[in-house]
Amino acid sequence: MYKSINLSLFILLLPFLAISQNSNDYNKKIDNLLSQMTIEQKIGQLALRGTSSRVKGGLSEEFKQMIREGEAGAILNVMKAEQMAELQKIALEESEHGIPLIFARDVIHGFKTIFPIPLGLAASWDSSTAYDCARVSSIEASSIGIRWTFAPMLDISRDSRWGRIAESPGEDPLLASVLAKAYIDGFQNEFKDNTSLLACAKHFMGYGAAEGGRDYNTVYMNEALMRNIYLPPFKAAIEAGALTVMSSFNEYNGVPASASTFLLKEVLRDDLAFDGFVVSDWNSLTETIPHGYARDERHAAELAFKAGLDMEMTSRAYENHLKTLLENGTIQMADLDIMVANILRTKLRMGLFDAPIPKDNSATLYYKNAHLEKAKEAAIKSMVLLKNKNDILPLNSSKKIALIGPLADAPHDQLGTWTFDGEKEHTITPAHYFQEKTDQISFAPGLTFSRDRSTHGYADALNKAKASDLIIFIGGEEAILSGEAHSRANIALPGKQEELLKELKSTGKPIVLVIMAGRPISLTNIESYADAILMAWHPGTMGGPALYDVLTGIREPEGRLPVTWPKSAGQSPLYYNQKNTGRPADSTSFVQMYDIPLGAWQSSLGNNSHYLDDGFTPHYPFGYGLNYSSFIYSELDLSTNKISQSDSLVVSIKLTNTGNRQSTDLVQLYIQDVVGSITRPVKELKDFQHIKLDAKTDTEVKFVIYPDQLTFYNNDGEKCLESGMFNIWIGPNSASGLKSSFELFD
Ligand code: GLC
């Protein structure tokens, strides 16, 4: 009897015993290496050496010697398997301690098989979609020796002007946290084998709050905003096992993140118990000089080192100055050993010391059908139907279609931003695929690229439109118009797309507007031209087949907006979980600018928070998206209207598919903490479920709410749970739903 209990207990404890044994072994190996390494070799491990997007030509003898001397811990953008193999062989067999290199690349939303941009993946609200993108990316990238990706980007984004919103998980901390875990699981795959990529949670932190949506710009935020909104995805990533974090370019309350002791030690190490290593962004360590925080390169090295920045990407401040700083006592060897240990431990935990020299087995892995199928599925799940007047979609197959627009046949731009290795030759565009699938299509770009301001293509487009029953216009942004350093002050369709749409509207044919872009696009001027509007983001390699299946009804669009869709850039930043203010706007008092009577008295309009022109609501709310069916929410029920801080609350609704086809709705649960010791958002997403229902059927959808979901951080960074009234909504998006309330008591 006792023996069996001991045995079962031992079996239960086995994983934990194994982990602690591993870490003991790792610590012994690390201590042994540290005791033998010279200062130069220790400093070498802190260096991420690389070049911009790709090393061209062969490896120089100087580069190889650098590896032989142990002057690099990781290499960026060396993309040939044979070159990575050669460098790894040198590191393992010719350097004094045989410490392996980590080969890094930005594998953001696919390596060769390109998935939708991350903002599109976020629109799926589906962790398996994010996981699939990460897993397929890892299998393809690791097949030539890449073992570290600078992803996932976890910057909460509330400003559509910001170019990197395209790369973000959207505006909500809960959705971003769910995606963060999925990405880490998909990339790192628990380091089970050599298809695992070391993930990198970036950019730490607050990068998405850059003033004016201008990339790299100033960030001010207090602890409540940081801990309630911007930190949660990083917390989720680290809890999921992320072993690297990248510091961001921006300053955070006056201190560049790459030299911020508060961020890199107090928040990351102390609060989040992160025990991997921190890498700077590209030259962000030496950018503390133009920030006006470091006097010179040596001072920059000192500040970043003391803040706890482990590895320096591409700049050479550590290489140039750490030895001197050690010798003159400005920094301590013990701290250098801690940083080197962070890097060595990570290399041990990802199995790099035992990994074979990489060889190229990509031939059978790139663009595998299984990978392409997952990319197509991701594109379908990311597409958001914003308008569908008179249910013009799905298309009637007998219709003659004029396919028009600068993004209809744009194989490079369809892949979107941060796509270094995907090849446009593999992109299947809508024009290509639709013309393959049906002879009812006539194609005319009308404009040759998104910024095209010529009208040379109008005649052909208009003639084809007049000869058709319906127009599909695929417009949007070229890939270069979003992504890093590509913010826009005006987020309307660029070039003459709006003008061409107006001309097409004059033909009297119904228009289905499909947008391929890296951000929400201002639709105010053109919304009335379109009978249907579908946001396809930049959908990746399989965008054509995915779009065909969605527009023809083989599949329905399942996406929901991961960001609020503003009417214009002037409304940004704009997000659903805003504060109520002392003068919240409402439709009863709002008078649109052109409806204001002449000579109106100064205080005759609603004195509350709105714009005279664009009002106070977005074009489309966070969480919004249409189906090809219709749903009714009814019978909202709470298990109780009073819960103590140790109880839980069961909330349920009845969901009915009133339409004629099977359909999936995203049931969303929001909560408002009505009164707090600091003001609280008007509502916050607390849970969501994808519910698939057959036509004319219904089901009960249940959620359980726990008090911990009602907590928040105050301005002192303290976690609070405060009794009082809470409102609760369950509905299809953040702007509608059934409402009730409950009380939390002590
Ligand atoms: C860039 C980006 C970062 C990327 C790094 C390496 O500037 O900010 O996201 O991973 O440099 O390419």
**Ligand 1 midpoint to CA 239 (Å):** 23
Q: How far is the CA of 300 from the centre of ligand 1 (A)?
A: 19
Q: Is the Cβ–Cβ distance between 309 and 285 less than 8 Å? A: yes
Gap from CA of 284 to ligand 1 centroid (Å): 10
Name the residue of 49, 282, 283 to mutate for ligand 1: max ligand atoms within 8 A of Cβ. Answer: 282
Region for 186 from its dihedrals, namely left if φ exceeds 0, alpha if ψ lies in -120 to 50, beta otherwise: alpha
Task: Let me know if 281 is a catalytic residue.
Answer: yes
Q: Atom 6 in ligand 1: which residue has the minimum CA distance?
A: 282
Asked whether residue 735 carries a pLDDT value surpassing 70, the answer given is yes
281 CB within 6 A, ligand 1: yes
Is residue 639 over pLDDT 60? yes
Our answer on whether the CB atom of 155 is closer than 6 Å to any ligand 1 atom is: no
pLDDT, tens digit (0-9, with 9 covering 90-100), for 162-189: 999 999 999 999 999 999 999 999 999 9
In contact, 51 and 60? CB cutoff 8 Å? no
The CB of 310 under 6 Å from ligand 1? The reply is: no
pLDDT score for 339: 98
What confidence score (pLDDT) does residue 57 get? 73
Residue carrying structure tokens 């990197």: 164
pTM of structure: 0.97
Looking at residue 52, its pLDDT comes to: 60
Q: Which residue, by CA, sits nearest to atom 7 of ligand 1?
A: 282
Q: Is 202 in the pocket of ligand 1 (CB under 6 A)?
A: yes
Question: What rounded mean pLDDT belongs to the chain?
Answer: 96
The Å distance, Cα 298 to ligand 1 centre, comes to 23
Q: What whole-number distance in Å separates Cα of residue 43 and Cα of residue 319?
A: 6
**DSSP string computed for 403-423:** EESTTTT-TTGGG-SS-SS--
What is the reported pLDDT for 23?
82
CB 608 within 8 A of CB 589: yes
Q: For ligand 1, atom 11, which residue shows the shortest CA distance?
A: 282
Ligand 1 centre distance from Cα of residue 167 (Å): 11
Phi, psi of 48 (to 5 degrees): -105, 110
CA of 573 to the centre of ligand 1 (A): 24
pLDDT higher than threshold 80 for residue 396: yes
Calculate mean pLDDT across residues 326-343: 98
pLDDT in tens, 543-587: 999 999 999 999 999 999 999 999 999 999 999 999 999 999 999
- 86-105 pLDDT tens trace: 999 999 999 999 999 999 99
Residue 538 and residue 121 in contact, taking contact as beta carbons nearer than 8 Å: no
Residue 17: per-residue pLDDT: 65
Pocket test for ligand 1, best of 48, 150, 154 (most atoms within 8 A of CB): 150
**How far apart are the CA of 164 and the centre of ligand 1, in A?**
11
Tell me the two tokens of residue 388. 């569908």
105 C-beta closer than 6 A to ligand 1: no
Q: Which atom of ligand 1 is nearest to the CA of 284?
A: 7
How far apart CA 164 and CA 456 sit, in angstroms, is: 33
Ligand 1 binding pocket mutation candidate from 278, 281, 487 (most atoms within 8 A of CB): 281
pLDDT at position 533, please? Answer: 98
CB-based burial label for 301 (10 Å; 0-12, 13-18, 19+): buried
Instruction: DSSP for 7-60, please give it.
Output: HHHHHHHHHHHHHHHHHHHHHHHHHHHHHH--HHHHHHHTEEEE-SS---S---
| pLDDT of 19 above 70 | no
End-to-end CA distance of the chain: 45
What spacing in Å lies between the alpha carbon of 183 and ligand 1's midpoint? 18
Q: Quick one: tokens of 668?
A: 């969303």
pLDDT at residue 512, as a whole number: 98
The pLDDT-based confidence of 2 (bands split at 50, 70, 90) is very low
Rounded to whole angstroms, the Cα distance separating 85 from 200 reads 23
**pLDDT of 213 strictly over 90:** yes
Nearest atom (ligand 1) to Cα of 153: 9
Is the CB of 150 inside a 6 Å radius of any atom of ligand 1?
yes
235 CA from centroid of ligand 1 (Å) = 21
- Distance from Cα 417 to the centre of ligand 1, integer Å: 12
- Closest protein CA for atom 3 of ligand 1: 281
Q: Give 608's pLDDT tier (boundaries 50, 70, 90).
A: very high
pLDDT score of 16 more than 80? no
In this structure, the residue with its CA closest to atom 8 of ligand 1 is 281
From ligand 1's centre to the CA of 103, what distance in Å? 15
From CA 699, how far away is CA 249, in angstroms rounded? Answer: 48
Q: What integer pLDDT is reported at residue 1 of this predicted model?
A: 41
Q: Check pocket membership of 282 for ligand 1, CB cut-off 6 A.
A: yes
Distance CA 270, CA 345 (A): 18
106 lines ligand 1 (CB under 6 A): yes
Residues 285, 257: Cα–Cα separation, whole Å? 9
Over the Cα atoms of the chain, what is R_g? 27
Given a cut of 50, whether residue 505 has pLDDT beyond it is: yes
* Distance between Cα 281 and ligand 1 center (Å): 6
**Ligand 1 binding pocket includes 283 (Cβ within 6 Å):** no
Asked whether 302 lines ligand 1 (CB < 6 A), one says no
Distance (angstroms) between ligand 1 centre and the Cα of 315 equals 13
- Given a cut of 60, is residue 5 above it in pLDDT? no
pLDDT of residue 725: 98
Task: Name the residue among 187, 179, 184 with its Cα closest to residue 125.
Answer: 179
Residue with tokens 């935990």: 349
Catalytic residue among 132, 281, 614, 665: 281
